[in-house]
Structure 1
Amino acid sequence: MTTPNRFIVVDDDPLNNLVCNHIILKVDPDAKITLFTNPEKALEMVQTFGESSEKGDFVLFLDVNMPSMSGWEFLDAFESLDEKIHERFRIYMLSSSIDQGDIEKAAANPFVRGYYPKPLSFETMGLLNL
């Protein structure tokens, strides 16, 4: 996987998305960032981006608790996508939940590379080894 400079943030909270956008751009001024408050639309774009012949990979920050589709439901739908799509995404859960069950569930999911508290911080970005 190449070092991504493309980011997707999926969170129903527009304020959190703005914070993510700000932090990512401070860390990587050349980053291309796509923000979604609707996880279903994000999933459609993930499939489109993943099938694209454009080179490069993506970091996806995914909220756990969203009203229309939870982060877990998003991951279940992501699992049904083609393996070539899976390979292009590094998914990190970004949540205000400190529920140990959520943390363990994220750790057990093969698509999730980490579980971090909201809001996204410079410290978290440093932990991602981008």
Structure 2
Amino acid sequence: MKISHRFIVVDDDSFNNLVCKYTILKYDASADIQLFTDPEKALAVIREEFGNITEGLDTVLFLDINMPIMSGWEFLNEFETYSQNIHRQITIYILSSSIDPGDKIKADGNTFVKGYYPKPLGIETMNQIFG
């Protein structure tokens, strides 16, 4: 996979979002990064920004699964209702502190999830994804 220069991080923990931002920038100093603590707002922005674009904006989305307002699983259910055009532009990776093996199994069974990685995001994870 070629490195994407566009990233979205969806996590209710703003500190984790900053860790993700600095890790991504360390890996790709020119990256465009959007951070969201509200998954519903992230979905609205995705629908607006990606819905009418015909050329691909290859984007990596790091998604937490344990969030209070809308879980990562609910986020994925909503994302599933979006157009194929949007689906083609976004590659989703779960980034979670969950130790529940069921979460990994559930992620592996979701067609939109390309990988499941532990928090915090580190250079090793970036190398696994893009290496």
Same fold (TM over 0.5): yes
Percentage of pairs with the same residue: 57
CA displacement, residues 43-76 of structure 1 (integer Å, 9 cap, x when unaligned): 0111122224365211000001000000000000
Q: Which runs of 5+ in 2 are unaligned?
A: none
Structural mapping, 1:1-130, within 5 Å = 3-53=3-53, 55-129=56-130
Contact between 1:2 and 1:57, CA under 8 Å: does it hold in 2? no
Letter aligned with residue 69 of structure 2: S
Contact between 2:19 and 2:120, CA under 8 Å: does it hold in 1? yes
CA displacement, residues 105-124 of structure 1 (integer Å, 9 cap, x when unaligned): 00000000000000000000
Work out the CA distance in 1 between the residues paired with 2:60 and 2:48.
15
Q: Which runs of 5+ in 1 are unaligned?
A: none
Normalised by the size of structure 1, how large is the TM-score?
A: 0.95
Greater Cα offset, 85-94 or 52-61: 52-61
Inter-CA distance 13–43: structure 2 relative to 1 (3 Å threshold): same
Give SS of 1:84's match: helix
Work out the CA distance in 2 between the residues paired with 1:55 and 1:48.
14
Inter-CA distance 50–3: structure 2 relative to 1 (3 Å threshold): farther
Corresponding pairs, count: 130
Normalised by the size of structure 2, how large is the TM-score?
A: 0.94
Inter-CA distance 109–82: structure 2 relative to 1 (3 Å threshold): same
Work out the CA distance in 2 between the residues paired with 1:47 and 1:126.
29
Contact between 1:92 and 1:114, CA under 8 Å: does it hold in 2? yes
Contact between 1:11 and 1:37, CA under 8 Å: does it hold in 2? yes
Inter-CA distance 122–3: structure 2 relative to 1 (3 Å threshold): closer
After superposition, the CA RMSD in angstroms is: 1.5
| Deviation, structure 1 residue 2 | 6.6
